[in-house]
Structure 1
Amino acid sequence: MGISVAAALVALVAVVAAGGWGVHGQFIGFYGISCPRAEASVTQVVTDAFQRDPTIAAALVRLLFHDCFVQGCDASILLDNPGGEKSAVPNQTVRGYEVIDDAKAAVEAICPGVVSCADIVALAARDSVVLTGGPTWLVPTGRRDGRVSNGLAATVSLPLPTLTTPVLTQIFLSHGLTQDEMITLSGAHTIGRAHCSAFSNRLALNDPTLDSAYAAELRAACPSANSQGTVPLDPTTPFTFDNNYFTNLAANRGLLTSDQDLFNNLGSQFLSNLDSTNANLWQLKFTSAMVRLSTLNLKIGALGEIRKNCRATN
């Protein structure tokens, strides 16, 4: 544990340069000629939606994650076909589809048949982080939209909020993401809300890793496992994209089992501590991890299509 913050930053920048931007740089500015106003158009739609409902930011970040973890980042979660990903239990609370529809309509109005729904999902997630005070990054574009959406694949691929760190680590590794990237990306839980059912198991078991005062607050908000309410994932600054998620873990105020176990598990405690005390380092790591996440199993060229309607294949 003798690594210094400065050394960690230098090492991370080297990794990003060699394995992140270098590999995916061919997609940066993909629409520079074919649709130069594409990104600005998406940003405007997301900004308008955020001004109407600030909670949409977390929803759009989550939408990207749930899309990319099933058959890659191909907007397959948007398809309305029977038995598709939307039908899977982990996706029952996913939202933000209407914002993507509006963004698609905006780019179609200026550049018909050019911008993929998959790229819009990735851009919307980035814009959502920025709107809540987080860092920005260059989003690699040029994805094609997938033609298949499978609910069973979503059920198998998406992690549950009750999983422990070793199990989560294996899931992320199976998608080509490291444990450190998993911890870093989990920091996105600094914004957003969770339904009572997502953490009711901890209240029922009187989880000793849950701060007692915080547990009392949660019981007041969710008196039973069937309660329909929601609570912030970050009770400290629920609408600000900061590293308080990690600070909360250190105080046993992580909401989900999967979150709190990241800190309690010996294999990842040091990394959680590092993120909780170095906000700039975490944000740098987060942008790199988001690029990695948003470029999983890309479909390019003939492997996909540019949908006219994000909810249906051509």
Structure 2
Amino acid sequence: MGRSYTLLFILVTILVLVAAATAQGNRGSSRGGGGRRPRVGYYGNRCRNVESIVASVVRAHVRSNPANAPGILRMHFHDCFVRGCDGSVLLAGNTSERTAVPNRSLRGFEAIEEAKARLEVACPRTVSCADILTLAAREAVVLTGGQGWRVPLGRLDGRISQASDVILPGPFDPVDKQKRDFAAKTLNTIDLVTLVGGHTIGTAGCGLVRGRFFNFNGTGQPDPSINPRFVPLVQNRCPLTGDASARVDLDDGSVGRFDTSFLRNVRSSRVVLQSDLVLWRDPETRAIIERLLGLRRPSLRFGTEFGKSMVKMSLIDVKTGSDGEIRRVCSRIN
């Protein structure tokens, strides 16, 4: 009887200690992540209006300059593919990610900073810049006619931002390299094609695309895989001796509208980036485009798939617990 009582006492003691440790861990995660992955409704009563505040600010900035919509969406992609979705692209500095060549044309930083300033008034030291950028990317899609999705929140901001870390999928990459780059970030080929479909809004610099339309691989001729009716349109917008910083639409005929027009243009070889055009030549990516366009069964709904892929991308290497912080200002660490 005495031995049984002793064993029971030890068992109860262990259970109490485990429960206490669990409770302490939960309290820690509510303050700084505690190793938990982001989730929908993370802020709860601590910041009820976080989504509406971000939406209001982004709406105003897109209204004043429509280029901010694709700019914010692209910024989110560039953030998540370098050191994970931690807002590191927002940090300023002489050697920060912002200074890397692919990031010099990013826009929309002012919208993120304004949203952060408003949230610091409404919910001081609560909402991370990484979460603000993720919410802003969804709002950019919705404001241009796309379908919304539920955004998991609870990321922390990273403390490191180095231009040398900025290695992104490039505009001349073949399909196999694109697949490898996305797979390295836990994204599959459906995610690749769907996220590239985000090129339905936005522009590219003439200096980036001009070679394909005037002197492909040193031939003195346009890329023969481009639709010949499309060639003179881009040549007129990006003349050989024109301004290299001038912009040309990524989605001819449907600029500023989040729809499947871009994917139809890929099918018709009417796109300006080589990395986009080659998606139609690869059997796997071509089949996915056909499914997104309803030309092959089982079909995929572009809006729904885009939201799913954005959620997957937004969870790449997120910072939680002691890995990060909640910045007071998005452009600098605390």
Give the alignment's TM-score, normalised by structure 1: 0.89
1:20-31 alignment to 2 at 5 Å?
27-31=39-43
The match for 2:28 is none
DSSP 3-state at the match of 2:284: coil
The match for 2:196 is 186
Q: Among residues 117, 129, 147, which one is paired with 2:159 in the alignment?
A: 147
Q: Among residues 110, 121, 138, which one is paired with 1:126 in the alignment?
A: 138
1:28-177 alignment to 2 at 5 Å?
28-154=40-166, 156=167, 158-177=168-187
Q: Is the 8 A contact 1:100 1:117 kept in 2?
A: yes
Q: Is the 8 A contact 1:244 1:276 kept in 2?
A: no
Q: Among residues 306, 313, 319, which one is paired with 1:299 in the alignment?
A: 319
DSSP 3-state at the match of 1:189: helix
The match for 2:328 is 308
Q: CA deviation digits over 1:197-239, x for unaligned, max 9?
A: 2212311211111111211011111112753210111012111
Unaligned 5+ segments in structure 2 are 1-35, 217-221
Comparing 278-287 and 112-121, the one that deviates more:
278-287
Q: Provide the rounded CA distance (Å) in 1 between the counterparts of 2:150 and 2:157.
A: 20
Q: Among residues 276, 279, 293, which one is paired with 1:276 in the alignment?
A: 293
Question: Which stretches of structure 1, 4 residues or longer, exceed 6 Å deviation after superposition?
Answer: none
What is the alpha-carbon root mean square deviation over aligned residues? Answer: 1.5
Q: Is the 8 A contact 2:294 2:300 kept in 1?
A: no
Q: Which has the larger radius of gyration?
A: 2
Shift of 1:42: 0.4
Q: Is the 8 A contact 1:162 1:198 kept in 2?
A: no
Task: Give the letter for the 1:164 counterpart.
Answer: P
Task: Give the letter for the 1:170 counterpart.
Answer: R
Task: Give the letter for the 2:170 counterpart.
Answer: L
Shift of 1:258: 0.5
Q: Is the 8 A contact 2:38 2:155 kept in 1?
A: no
Give the alignment's TM-score, normalised by structure 2: 0.84
Q: Among residues 240, 247, 258, which one is paired with 2:257 in the alignment?
A: 240
Q: CA deviation digits over 1:23-82, x for unaligned, max 9?
A: x98611111111101111000000111111122111110010000000000000011122
Q: Provide the rounded CA distance (Å) in 1 between the counterparts of 2:321 and 2:69.
A: 30
2:232 counterpart of 1:216? yes
Task: Give the letter for the 1:49 counterpart.
Answer: H
Q: Provide the rounded CA distance (Å) in 2 between the counterparts of 1:216 and 1:276.
A: 27
Report the identity percentage. 36
The match for 2:4 is none
Shift of 1:288: 0.4
Unaligned 5+ segments in structure 1 are 1-23
DSSP 3-state at the match of 1:113: coil
The match for 2:307 is 287
Task: Give the letter for the 1:159 counterpart.
Answer: P
Q: Provide the rounded CA distance (Å) in 1 between the counterparts of 2:273 and 2:189.
A: 18
Q: Among residues 236, 239, 245, which one is paired with 1:228 in the alignment?
A: 245
DSSP 3-state at the match of 1:199: helix
Task: Give the letter for the 1:298 counterpart.
Answer: V
